[in-house]
Structure 1
Amino acid sequence: MGSPSFRIGDATITRIDEIPLAHGSPAELYPDIDPEAADRHRGRVSPGSLHPETGAISLGIHSWLVRTPHHTILIDTATGNGKERPTVPLMHRLDVPYLQRLAAAGVRPEDVDHVLITHVHADHVGWNTRLVDGRWVPTFPNARHHVSSVEQRYGESLTDPSAGGFRPDPALGTPRHPPLDGVYQDSVRPVLDAGLADLVSVDGGEVLDGISFHPAPGHSIDHAVIRLRSRGEEALFAGDVMHHPLQVCEPGWNSRYCEFPEPARASRRWLLEQAAESGALVLPGHFAESSAGRVTRRGDRFDWTFA
């Protein structure tokens, strides 16, 4: 079976898989919840995402390939092979056929002309680079890499104390934890050094025709939801505003990886309201099954249906 594909106006969107993920229970991903909290939603979340008997949840790591009449675009680039991530064993020194899967979709690395990054976390920027002769070099040598200027400055400040002492906006609150160490150094800085990065203001402005970055901070310091509009249709690439359909049922749940808890909740609510109002196709970074779907609203409650 091929990877899921979707059509939005003149654009074709295809999922490029990296690795599957699973948690024995929702409390492993959402540590602040009552361990039994997900039980009441088993009838609302499909069995492919929430096992009806064991309560285990399924997720994945993937990229979104977007082909328009003018561009070949990757939205987020998963984890990457050979990255040193010893504190996250599932991501440590991967060796997976991600580029072969991209090739099976008809795209070589040199064909990609834009890489759009929702946020600078390990499983969203990893394939920006690959190891060649002991050096991390850009995987997509002809692509402009669009990344938040705030995320870039924050990443630089955490790795280089002489970089100007950039600190989060106090309005975000106290961060629960910093981004994973090493990610900026091996997956972002080499792209900057190669002159392939375009730093983005996440303010709703277009970066390409019909494509814009919208502020959804909280999971990371300047997380973006990327909107695609084409011929009256709309898609929202949600990154990690939500990790699992359970968060459609429970927008207040934050994952253990959310850095700024209260803004993360506000951004999730904003996304759900936008998606329900517009009818946009929503494409998160970690949902299982088709990984894409639509949000509907009934009063104060939201529901998710896979596309």
Structure 2
Amino acid sequence: MTYESAQSIVLGDVEVVRVVEWQGPFGPARTLVPGAGAEAWRDNEEWLAPDHWDPDGDSAVMALQTWVLRSGGRTVLVDTGVGDGRERPGMPLFHRRRDGLLGRLERAGVRPEDVDVVVNTHLHADHVGWNTYEVDGLGSGEWAPAFPNARYLLPAADDFHFGPANGYGGGLREDDRLIYEDSVAPVHRAGLVTLWDGEHRIDENLVLESAPGHTPGSAVLRLASGGDRAVFVGDLLHSPLQILDPGRASCFCLDAAGAAASRRRILERAADTRELVVPAHFGGAGAAEVRRDGAGFEVAAWAAYGTG
């Protein structure tokens, strides 16, 4: 898949379109999933490479992407990527990127003014970046909502944790303050934010559900329409190796034990109800059906799309 393509699948009455901002080698595989040693990657090389692992460089392969859901006559975006021109000195891959996701969305038939709902599964840099755009595009630091007619649905626990009330993530990373100030605070000031906790229904097909651990407010989005089911799991999964063993946390999880508990709960339901699992960062097909395999799970089938 090239960056310029879009992939789509229809689940019941909902069309799901995948728009990729970037994909490629992300970083050392064993750093991304510390609980998976070299043997775990090598033993699964046949199906992990090349979409999820580059064996030559021992690098995890990942994607930054946005999911567009057309549901009940409305357009819903699930996560908004990294954004252009962001100051992210502690995150070299995200620092001052220029990927033009808004242009890719338009080529997929999604104009900014047509978006009705923006879902941030959590408030990390690569999930909120295109909440806003730089007004002059010249480094002025003036940010405005990228989707002016949308309601932005933000997990209340993350908004508290990463916002000024809790010291921008407790002040552990300077980038957390930058992320909040350029990608979250402007939509608050515009009056476009709805904070939620526990469960939040978007429409007859879509429900947000708390799944804490990766961050305090991490969420999943459940889709149920007709006989079809899917769950957009955000960063509960960074690598398919976490499907095999849900106890493996990523290096980005703030609460590894909590993330593992949420991951197992969501995967159990997905296996039992045949929900398509849609992580935020999987390359390749980007989504999979899972089934139980002993104490863990395995990929039963990868998603099949049409290309737009």
Whether these two folds match at TM > 0.5 is yes
Q: State the match for 1:141 in structure 2.
A: 148
Deviation at 1:158, TM superposition (A): 5.6
Runs of 5+ consecutive residues of structure 1 not aligned to the other structure: 168-174
Using structure 2 for the length normalisation, give the TM-score: 0.88
8 Å contact kept, 1:178–1:259: no
1:125 to 125, 128, 134: 128
SS at match of 1:182: helix
SS at match of 1:282: strand
Deviation at 1:180, TM superposition (A): 2.9
Deviation at 1:44, TM superposition (A): 5.0
Deviation at 1:306, TM superposition (A): 1.5
Give 1:209's aligned amino acid: E
Instruction: Provide, for residues 248-281 of structure 1, a one-character-per-residue CA deviation record: whole Å limited to 9, x for no partner.
Output: 1122221111111110111111121111011011
Query: Share of identical aligned residues, percent?
Result: 38
2: CA distance, partners of 1:31 / 1:98:
31
Q: State the match for 1:251 in structure 2.
A: 246
> CA 1:100–1:218 in 2, change beyond 3 Å: closer, same or farther?
same
8 Å contact kept, 2:76–2:116: yes
8 Å contact kept, 1:247–1:253: yes
Show the 5 A alignment for 1:267-278.
Answer: 267-278=262-273
> CA 1:158–1:19 in 2, change beyond 3 Å: closer, same or farther?
farther
Show the 5 A alignment for 1:231-246.
Answer: 231-246=226-241
> CA 1:179–1:54 in 2, change beyond 3 Å: closer, same or farther?
closer
Show the 5 A alignment for 1:90-129.
Answer: 90-129=93-132
Deviation at 1:47, TM superposition (A): 3.8
2: CA distance, partners of 1:85 / 1:52:
28
> CA 1:83–1:286 in 2, change beyond 3 Å: closer, same or farther?
same
Instruction: Provide, for residues 101-123 of structure 1, a one-character-per-residue CA deviation record: whole Å limited to 9, x for no partner.
Output: 10111111001011011001000
Aligned alpha-carbon RMSD (Å):
2.4
8 Å contact kept, 1:225–1:238: yes
State how many pairs are aligned. 295
2: CA distance, partners of 1:113 / 1:40:
44
> CA 1:93–1:53 in 2, change beyond 3 Å: closer, same or farther?
closer
Instruction: Provide, for residues 4-53 of structure 1, a one-character-per-residue CA deviation record: whole Å limited to 9, x for no partner.
Output: 21111111101111111314542131235434432222245354223466
Runs of 5+ consecutive residues of structure 2 not aligned to the other structure: 304-308
SS at match of 2:163: helix
1: CA distance, partners of 2:175 / 2:118:
20
Give 2:265's aligned amino acid: W
Using structure 1 for the length normalisation, give the TM-score: 0.89
